Amino acid sequence: GESVGLHLPTLSVQEGDNSIINCAYSNSASDYFIWYKQESGKGPQFIIDIRSNMDKRQGQRVTVLLNKTVKHLSLQIAATQPGDSAVYFCAELLGNTPLVFGKGTRLSVIA
Partner 1 sequence: SQTIHQWPATLVQPVGSPLSLECTVEGTSNPNLYWYRQAAGRGLQLLFYSVGIGQISSEVPQNLSASRPQDRQFILSSKKLLLSDSGFYLCAWSIVASGTEAFFGQGTRLTVV
Establish if 86 lies at the interface with partner 1 (CB under 8 A). Answer: no
Q: What phi and psi values does residue 83 have, to the nearest 5 degrees? A: -70, -10
Residue in 8, 56, 82, 103 binding partner 1, rule: CB under 8 A: 103
Applying the rule CB under 8 A, the residues between 5 and 24 that interact with partner 1 are 9
Task: Provide, rounded to whole angstroms, the least separation between the CB of residue 17 and partner 1.
Answer: 25
Rounded to whole angstroms, what are the CA distances from 41 to 6, 16, 38, 99?
21, 25, 8, 21
Interaction site with partner 1 (CB under 8 A)? 2, 4, 9, 31-32, 34, 36, 41-46, 49, 51, 89, 93, 95-96, 98-104
